[in-house]
């Protein structure tokens, strides 16, 4: 009788002392999942979500490049069609990779507006003449303050705004064919652009 009892309590204690093992299994499983997703490219501990998703862009008024038309917040808060806004700079190296992708997108008829970040207009001009100009309009943010209001943390960054002015998507870094095919294109289809 007592031997049976102690057998039972022994099992209970084994279960209890197995708790650290359960904790380890959970932690290890989590790590494994993170490593797998990181290797697959869909888990980046350094990425940062945009606060603008689901909202309208903030108010601002920026002058255009070399006397061209500028961009205001009001225009982007009700653009009337789905469009992209791209922050870029001539000094930014990933922007070189970004340029052909934007050119390719512009050819599909998607309107893209550009905002230069802390870039001298002359340098921007040269950058555009060298790498193509996919932008319908270009505004200049020399002090970089409007960018901060958007929550920008580097260049290039690309924002997708729908016809009613809601930001649906933000991509930080140079666009790649994979990102366009897997993220952007389906979104554009959903928005009916």
Chain residues binding other proteins by CB under 8 A are 10, 13-15, 17-18, 20-21, 24-25, 27-28, 30-39, 43, 45-49, 51, 118, 143-145, 148-151, 153-154
* Alpha-carbon span 171 to 99, nearest angstrom: 14
Q: Which CB atom, from 143 or from 186, has the smaller least distance to other proteins?
A: 143
Q: Which CB atom, from 33 or from 122, has the smaller least distance to other proteins?
A: 33
Smallest gap, in angstroms, from Cβ of residue 19 to other proteins? 8
Smallest gap, in angstroms, from Cβ of residue 155 to other proteins? 9
Q: Which CB atom, from 55 or from 81, has the smaller least distance to other proteins?
A: 55
Q: Is 11 exposed, middle or buried (0-12, 13-18, 19+ CB in 10 A)?
A: exposed
Q: Which CB atom, from 132 or from 154, has the smaller least distance to other proteins?
A: 154
Tokens 């007592």 correspond to 2
Give me the half-sphere count of Cα atoms (radius 13 Å) on the Cβ side of residue 187.
19
Smallest gap, in angstroms, from Cβ of residue 30 to other proteins? 6
Smallest gap, in angstroms, from Cβ of residue 23 to other proteins? 9
Token readout for 33 is 């999942």
* Angstrom distances, CA of residue 27 to CA of 24, 36, 172: 5, 14, 30
Q: Which CB atom, from 101 or from 155, has the smaller least distance to other proteins?
A: 155
Q: Give which of 65, 79, 70 is closest to 111, Cα–Cα.
A: 79
Smallest gap, in angstroms, from Cβ of residue 120 to other proteins? 15
The region, left, alpha or beta by phi > 0 then psi within -120 to 50, assigned to residue 108 is alpha
């Amino acid at each position: 009788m007592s031997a049976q009892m102690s057998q039972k309590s022994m099992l209970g204690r084994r279960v209890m002392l197995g708790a650290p093992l359960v904790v380890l299994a959970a932690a290890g499983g989590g790590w494994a999942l993170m490593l797998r997703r990181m290797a697959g490219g869909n888990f980046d501990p350094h990425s940062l979500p945009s606060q603008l998703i689901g909202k309208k862009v903030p108010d601002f008024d920026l002058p255009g490049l070399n006397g061209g038309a500028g961009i205001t917040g009001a225009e982007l808060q009700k653009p009337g069609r789905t469009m992209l806004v791209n922050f870029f700079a001539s000094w930014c190296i990933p922007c070189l990779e970004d340029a052909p992708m934007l050119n390719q997108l512009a050819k599909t008829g998607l309107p893209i507006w550009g905002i230069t970040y802390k870039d001298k207009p002359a340098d921007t001009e040269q950058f555009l003449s060298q790498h193509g100009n996919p932008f319908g309009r270009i505004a200049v943010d020399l002090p970089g303050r409007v960018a901060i209001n958007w929550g920008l943390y580097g260049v290039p960054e690309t924002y997708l705004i729908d016809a009613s002015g809601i930001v649906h998507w933000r991509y930080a870094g140079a666009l790649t064919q994979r990102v366009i095919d897997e993220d952007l294109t389906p979104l554009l289809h959903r928005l009916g652009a």
